[in-house]
Amino acid sequence: DIVMTQSPDSLAVSLGERATINCKSSQNVLYSSNHKNYLAWYQQKPGQPPKLLIYWASTRESGVPVRFSGSGSGTDFTLTISSLQAEDVAVYYCQQYYTTPYTFGQGTKLEVK
């Protein structure tokens, strides 16, 4: 199985400041034939299902605010929130869909400092 490791486990950022969450996969998730990174990011608020934010490592889902961006390739990826808003407090997960079993990172809890 591909192991997804996120860092840090928790993060406290002041409102309006940048938040950065990292995700590392134990194997490459870049498919050479189409040059796509098979990596998604989700946001989960308490009592709610995960919400898709980013797919193909850097494509923002429709309706997701532009302050959310994804980057990286191969095995190292980053989710960046450019200016933290109060409603961004949540747990964030990365997920690889390169191969089954699809696997998620352990989650990063983002709080306001």
The residue within the footprint of another protein, chosen from 23, 37, 55, 92 (CB under 8 A), is: 55
Q: Can residue 97 be called a binding residue for another protein (CB under 8 A)? A: yes
In this complex, which beta carbon is closest to another protein, that of residue 9 or of residue 17?
A: 9
Burial of 82 (0-12, 13-18, 19+ CB in 10 A): middle
Q: Can residue 22 be called a binding residue for another protein (CB under 8 A)? A: no
Q: Can residue 40 be called a binding residue for another protein (CB under 8 A)? A: yes
Least distance in Å: CB of 69 to another protein?
A: 16
Cβ partners under 8 Å of residue 5, min gap 6: 23, 24, 25, 26, 105, 106
The residue within the footprint of another protein, chosen from 10, 31, 45, 83 (CB under 8 A), is: 31
Residues of the shown chain interacting with another protein in the complex, contacts defined by CB under 8 A: 1, 31, 34, 36, 38, 40, 42, 48-52, 55, 61, 93, 95, 97, 100-107
